Amino acid sequence: MRLLLISNSTNAGDTYLNHPKEEIKTFLNGVKKVLFIPYAAVTYSFDEYEKKVQNRFDEFGIKVESIHHHKNPKKAVQEAEAFVVGGGNTFRLLKMIQQFDLIEALRFKVLDGAPYVGWSAGSNVACPTICTTNDMPITEPDNFSAFNLVRFQINPHYLDAHPDGHAGETREQRIKEFLEMDPYCYVVGLREGSILKLEKGTISLLGSKPARIFKKGTEPKEYNPGDDFDFLFE
């Protein structure tokens, strides 16, 4: 199984998909065409989203074909060489994935070796559920169960900040609430500019920032690029 799970598409002040472009290029080396899943888009069209991603993937010599062009999305998944799942609203993304009955078809293909690249919401749906998303539930999926490609949860765009004058919960507090309901799960707080790569049976953190790992009953711990993350397979 080969996964490239990216926290965010764009760093502040940067261009679209610039920070992960070299990792994407290397990860998809040899791939000629990817099936793009744009369902997380809400305020812009799927055509616009496809074009935006294609503009970056042109640099890699890879054709981006959006699933929304297919009359039979499930067949498109079954025949795909590789998958790219974009960010946006995670609830919208999951609702449409479930609507077209794509969960098991995509999961089978990825477990069989098809590369999977996702960012933000696209990383969330690689997890067992979307329960650690930051998004508002603007629509209602059948349930919260996602592709279940990994055993841990990701919180993309993870922030440590607690702004002055803000009395609400921090991101860390929200994750601890999740762990009260699912105490046996690890949660990876994946900061912007960071990537988790799963390849050859190992997990690597890419980028310059540490990830914050949460598990009920233990204090949150910072892990840096180069550290051993294979405990997340447990």
List residues with catalytic annotation: 120, 135, 157
Structure tokens at 65: 């074909």
* Phi, psi values for residue 203, rounded to 5°: -115, 130
Distance CA 144, CA 91 (A): 8
3-state secondary structure 42-82: CCCCHHHHHHHHHHHHHHHCCEEEEHHHCCCHHHHHHHCCC
CB 67 within 8 A of CB 76: yes
**CA atoms lying within 13 Å on the CB side of residue 184:** 4
Structure tokens at 35: 């099936």
